[in-house]
Structure 1
């Protein structure tokens, strides 16, 4: 049972609805749910050992994040990202994430660069073990870390709202990176190399190239 499996003190401190939302999010990213699929509240609440009210609270969190949508008289469905949706996400990354990383490059400290280098090493470990779920988790952590260092609270807030949509879209790239596995780390190493120069224009160039490359690979699979 879901609740019986997760009864540590730390977990119990988190609101149940948030904890359930975390679990559902992980299942989406692992491909256990299909994008566009209808959520059966009865089946899911029984399978997870939770009340339907707790499940609905979690679904409201995911709806706020843009991962599910409630359709009148039809039920709740996982969002199926169309090309127009992915284009909007890409534009947001270009307008929010790129300037944030440029600002970060100007103020980043050596120990923070070391943290980013360790994340890239973790990416390589995930690739070696073909842990794609873990790889994309490290990837989003890498980008969130860069944005959070920029010092602009509003950029950080906007990006935090969108990061789970970005992570969900990335989960569609498993097949691509199974074939082009080393390309993933090469792109992040190139971005970090640019950041080390503290040259914001160079960072802008590399970051735009990286984000647009992801966009083109995702849209080519649709």
Structure 2
């Protein structure tokens, strides 16, 4: 999806979801910085939309903590605290472990091949310095496993939490060596290919716990105090 105009023929619910994805992609890519204001009417004009689907898309992002919305001041990009991000990773550790355990006996060979391709994509993008691409492939990898679990409640939980780590890791990847964490996807894939539910669950849990440790270790040095970011933002 490009940053150009969106088709007015898309239904209202789908259109707000498209706006949500576009804004999230822009945050991940650094187009919108932490603390920056997202002006609803300007975004609507840029995309050739009414303000209603833009407003709804921003509300959906606010519901998962990616932006904040203040009366008369509109939406701003929110930077979660280090503890909040680490807490999310701890919850993700159990969600991803359950997804891998359930998927082990259900996942198709075609989907396993897709997972292998995504691991290769992560490594290639990391080598190229494409940090946004690394996180996109990472989210897709874990989402495919969540889908293979055939548990819709688990999928919804994953979709609610995934944006947190995605935004943080994209902002900090240039300063942190994450090759080991990227390589941790291989044991998950190997266990799934072996249809070993417990080993897959443990590998998925260990991976997310490593992400949690990364967040706790590098967040303050990489991005500073979120409160200071918000206070020092232009137009704050």
- TM-score bracket, shorter-length normalisation: 0.7 to 0.9
Shifted more, 123-132 versus 39-48: the winner is 39-48
Q: What's the TM-score once normalised by structure 2's chain length?
A: 0.78
CA distance in 2, matches of 1:126, 1:185: 11
SS, match of residue 86 in structure 2? helix
Say yes or no: does 1:23 pair with 2:25. Answer: no
Structure 1 stretches lacking a partner, 5+ long: none
Say yes or no: does 1:200 pair with 2:197. Answer: yes
Structure-to-structure mapping, 1:67-216, within 5 angstroms:
67-177=66-176, 180=177, 182-216=179-213
Shifted more, 40-49 versus 211-220: the winner is 40-49
CA distance in 1, matches of 2:167, 2:203: 23
Shifted more, 46-55 versus 143-152: the winner is 46-55
1:2-59 per-residue CA deviation (whole Å, 9 max, x = no partner) reads: 98x3366xx8435443333222111100112222333344554555565544432321
- Alpha-carbon shift at residue 140 of structure 1 (Å): 0.2
- Alpha-carbon shift at residue 90 of structure 1 (Å): 1.5
- Alpha-carbon shift at residue 99 of structure 1 (Å): 1.1
Cα pair 1:21 1:61 within 8 Å, conserved: yes
Structure-to-structure mapping, 1:35-50, within 5 angstroms:
35-41=34-40, 44-45=43-44, 50=49
Q: What's the TM-score once normalised by structure 1's chain length?
A: 0.82
| Equivalences, count | 216
Cα pair 1:173 1:217 within 8 Å, conserved: no
Structure 2 stretches lacking a partner, 5+ long: 221-236
Cα pair 1:18 1:58 within 8 Å, conserved: yes
1:221 to 200, 219, 233: 219
Cα pair 1:35 1:81 within 8 Å, conserved: no
SS, match of residue 129 in structure 2? coil
SS, match of residue 68 in structure 2? strand
Bigger helix fraction: 1
CA distance in 1, matches of 2:208, 2:105: 20
Cα pair 1:172 1:218 within 8 Å, conserved: no
CA distance in 2, matches of 1:133, 1:197: 31
Change (3 A) 1:48 1:152: closer
CA distance in 2, matches of 1:52, 1:111: 41
CA distance in 2, matches of 1:107, 1:65: 29
